[in-house]
Structure 1
Amino acid sequence: MFRPLSLFVGLRYTAAKRGNHFISFISLVSILGLMLGVAALILVLSVMNGFDRELRQRILGMVPHATLNAYGDQGLENWQSLQASVETAPGVEGAAPYIQAQGMLTSRGRVQGVLVNGIDPALEAQVSIIQRHMQEGDLSQLDGGEYRIVLGELLARFLGVTVGDKVTLVLPEASISVAGVVPRLKRFQVSGIFSVGAELDSNLAYIHIADAARIKRMSTGRVDGLRLKFDDLFQAPRLAREVASAQSEPLYVSDWTRTHGNLFQAIQMEKRMIALLLLLIVFVAAFNIVSTLVMVVTDKQADIAILRTMGATPATILRVFMVQGILIGLIGTALGVLLGVTLALTVTDLVAWIEQVLGIEFLSADVYFISYLPSELLWSDVGMITLAAFSISFLATLYPAWRASRTQPAEALRYE
């Protein structure tokens, strides 16, 4: 079968057992460097994609995509008609009323700051994923007038309470009584515990919206605002403003980019910077390819001269050594893709197994916004990494191959 001379000779040079074992060692180092660089890029980008996914699905699944509030401190009146109008707007998946308060929860001598959301349990599923992450109890047990509360798992653990226990909510508002000025207190019974594996588990609690109105002393029928959920998270800021501008009364708009946008942007920035830094490993491996081919060219000076005297053109010699360099790049990149994809698909279970065996926790929910190592493999990332690694490998072959093509037969054979 016909094969081009440059391909035939290039493959022979690559497959042959060289007398110079040092050159073979450098070739192996080049392949391993490319493999590790590509695998590290795929693995790390998959982990960063996992954090990005968890941010969108967990944290941004619990907090509203956007909120609509009335100007001033009086709250939103006739919210039912506003809700009906908002739910017909393009891109809106759901809307639910809320009343929010900040305070402290105390139990058994322990105190923890908390953000309390007053919700309508029947409507909350339209804007939040909390029902899917209930460990104990159910949102439907939040009945108005019963003063029940649902706590995050870390918050309940810190307070040392479980379902059925009592906790005291302390609001930072003073009340005047016969005993003097005292903070506003209300006793609640724990009716449920949720866990989303994020920092929200340590500082978030839910009560019925009617109970929240009473403890905040709001007028009957008023709420703080509406929580909105959109079908496209990244279009939420624009769509929320359009929804608000379409209403007859002026509304104040807030969206997730104001509350958690910095965290999302930080992950995106870290992903880009880490990818750039890890790409340096591929560049180091490419320099090894340059070193390998330069030494091969020096070692094969007599062979090059013989080929030239037999009629091989400089372009043929150029392609011979490009074949050798490209083959090293292909092998290293292919092994790196295989290793990186395998690790990206198994790293979550692997880290969980290591934590279980060693009895340690790498990602504590008290410090990080999720408590396990996520991973999401995107084939678009794999494609870009593969293309970048192969392109760098290809460029690394050009200079040594060009040097080989410039070899003069008379000079090369002078001392042979």
Structure 2
Amino acid sequence: MFRPLPFFIGLRYTRAKRRNHFISFISLISMLGLTLGVLVMILVLSVMNGFDRELRTRILGMVPHATINGYQPIEDWRSLASKLEEHPQVESAAPFIQLQGMLTHDGGVAPVLVSGIIPEAEQRVSIIGEHMEEGTLEDLADGEFGIVIGELTANRFGVRPGDKLTFVLPEASVTPAGVFPRLKRFEVKGIFKVGAELDGSLAIIHAGDAARLSRWPSGQMEGVRVKLHDLFQAPTVSWELVSGLSGDYYAQDWTRSHGNLFAAIRMEKTMIGLLLLLIVAVAAFNIISTLVMVVTDKKADIAILRTLGASPGTIMGIFMVQGSVIGVVGTLVGGILGVLAALNVSALVAGLEKLLGMQFLSSDVYFISYLPSQLIWSDVVLICSAALGMSFLATLYPAWRASRTEPAEALRYD
């Protein structure tokens, strides 16, 4: 089978056992460095992609993409929701009332944001119904003062469905006995778990009960929450929605409440990717030192080939092939190992946590409680292409030096 001379000799040099074992060792280190660099880049970027995905699906699946709030309580929220849903970017809409306060139980206190919802409407704009550990949203009935809490809140107070919690509003009631905070007892109807910080800071009640606590007539709402087809269009769409309404309304969107978290993850992914790329660059440029030593070791062979008629381009091709083989093998092995690691890192970390009896990511500190990973093949292609490109560039200078070798000068002392 015909093979070009540079390719044939370059492969022979790569497979041959050299007299100088130190050169072989440096070649192996260069290959392992590339493998490690590519593996780590794929793994870390997959984890960052996983955090990005969890932010979109979990956090932004629970918090509103956008809300249209009234300066006064909204009388007819159904007409408003129907008008909002006419916008092509709006998937669905549901009313809400939000209250801030504290939950107490047996001396324990925890701050909480209470969201008053209509269960059948909330299912269309939130993923909370998919993450109920105990009970359902339908268990919330108007007038029964039931509450659905997150798993962290339930564990903090040691309560389960059927137990009682006290909600303390940041208002004072003046009575003949003095000034007292406003309190209301709620019965736990369900527990949800999304594996995020919302498990310890959010509680849900029926909108009718929330209206009573706000001292509004039944049926009035604070605003309407909308779910968008493209959540990244939230600032633009929310402004368009408000502009199309005739009443006194204002808009808010998720970029104000959680946009900094999303921006931080995107920035960290970019910066970590650039820093890890330096590892690949160092490993790739180790090929330069390897080939420089190989050229020095093979000067006599180069001179003989030149004497037999090999052109400088042929000599340059031989060493470019040799260096490129190191880059291709290192990148290929690193890519395969990186893909396998990215696909299994969540299970491996979960197994390690179970073995050690500790949790690396706590929902009290981080917005999720496990290590997510999402392999994006375009990232794999980009990383491998960058590694191969740097490996190829690293071969140019040593190969050029080899092509400039003078046969007479190289054979003078041989």
TM-score, L = length of structure 1: 0.98
Aligned partner (choices 327, 330, 355) of residue 357 of structure 1: 355
Q: Which residue of 2 aligns with 1:194?
A: 192
Q: Deviations over 1:29-63 (max 9, x none)?
A: 01100000000000000000000000000000000
Q: Is the 8 A contact 1:108 1:160 kept in 2?
A: no
Q: Deviations over 1:95-119 (max 9, x none)?
A: 0000000000000110000000000
Q: Which residue of 1 aligns with 2:107?
A: 109
**1:75 alignment partner, SS class:** strand
Aligned equivalents of 1:318 and 1:41: distance in 2? 31
Q: Which residue of 1 aligns with 2:12?
A: 12
Q: Is the 8 A contact 2:196 2:368 kept in 1?
A: yes
Aligned equivalents of 1:395 and 1:240: distance in 2? 49
Aligned equivalents of 1:255 and 1:333: distance in 2? 43
Q: Kindly provide the amino acid, as one letter, of the partner of residue 326 in structure 1.
A: S
**1:369 alignment partner, SS class:** coil
Q: Kindly provide the amino acid, as one letter, of the partner of residue 122 in structure 1.
A: E
**1:317 alignment partner, SS class:** helix
- The Cα shift of 1:220 comes to 3.5
- The Cα shift of 1:378 comes to 0.2
Q: Is the 8 A contact 1:99 1:213 kept in 2?
A: yes
**1:288 alignment partner, SS class:** helix
Aligned equivalents of 2:124 and 2:235: distance in 1? 18
Aligned equivalents of 2:390 and 2:285: distance in 1? 10
- The Cα shift of 1:250 comes to 3.7
1:304 aligns with 2:280: no
CA RMSD across the alignment:
0.9
- The Cα shift of 1:93 comes to 1.1
Aligned partner (choices 129, 132, 136) of residue 130 of structure 2: 132
Aligned equivalents of 2:74 and 2:252: distance in 1? 15
Q: Kindly provide the amino acid, as one letter, of the partner of residue 276 in structure 1.
A: L
Q: Is the 8 A contact 2:208 2:219 kept in 1?
A: no
- The Cα shift of 1:188 comes to 0.3
Structure 1, unmatched stretches of 5+, are none
Aligned equivalents of 2:203 and 2:266: distance in 1? 29
Q: Which residue of 1 aligns with 2:3?
A: 3
- The Cα shift of 1:369 comes to 0.4
- The Cα shift of 1:287 comes to 2.2
Q: Deviations over 1:242-268 (max 9, x none)?
A: 122122224211101000000000000
Q: Which residue of 2 aligns with 1:81?
A: 79
- The Cα shift of 1:2 comes to 1.7
Q: Which residue of 1 aligns with 2:50?
A: 50
Q: Which residue of 1 aligns with 2:287?
A: 289
Q: How does 1:369-380 map to 2 (within 5 A)?
A: 369-380=367-378
Q: Deviations over 1:115-143 (max 9, x none)?
A: 00000001001110000000001100100
Aligned equivalents of 1:216 and 1:196: distance in 2? 28
Q: How does 1:308-323 map to 2 (within 5 A)?
A: 308-323=306-321
Residues matched between the structures, number: 414
- The Cα shift of 1:236 comes to 2.0
- The Cα shift of 1:358 comes to 1.1
Matched-pair identity in %: 66
Q: Which residue of 2 aligns with 1:41?
A: 41
Aligned equivalents of 2:316 and 2:177: distance in 1? 95
Aligned equivalents of 1:217 and 1:159: distance in 2? 28
Aligned equivalents of 1:75 and 1:409: distance in 2? 92
Q: Kindly provide the amino acid, as one letter, of the partner of residue 163 in structure 1.
A: P
- The Cα shift of 1:76 comes to 2.1
Aligned equivalents of 1:111 and 1:186: distance in 2? 14
**1:224 alignment partner, SS class:** strand
Aligned equivalents of 2:227 and 2:299: distance in 1? 70
- The Cα shift of 1:77 comes to 2.5
Aligned equivalents of 2:168 and 2:252: distance in 1? 26
Q: Is the 8 A contact 2:285 2:390 kept in 1?
A: no
Aligned equivalents of 2:234 and 2:97: distance in 1? 21
- The Cα shift of 1:75 comes to 2.1
Structure 2, unmatched stretches of 5+, are none
Q: Which residue of 2 aligns with 1:61?
A: 61
- The Cα shift of 1:159 comes to 1.4
Q: Kindly provide the amino acid, as one letter, of the partner of residue 19 in structure 1.
A: R
TM-score, L = length of structure 2: 0.99
Q: How does 1:199-348 map to 2 (within 5 A)?
A: 199-348=197-346
Aligned equivalents of 1:76 and 1:112: distance in 2? 30
**1:410 alignment partner, SS class:** helix
Q: Kindly provide the amino acid, as one letter, of the partner of residue 272 in structure 1.
A: T
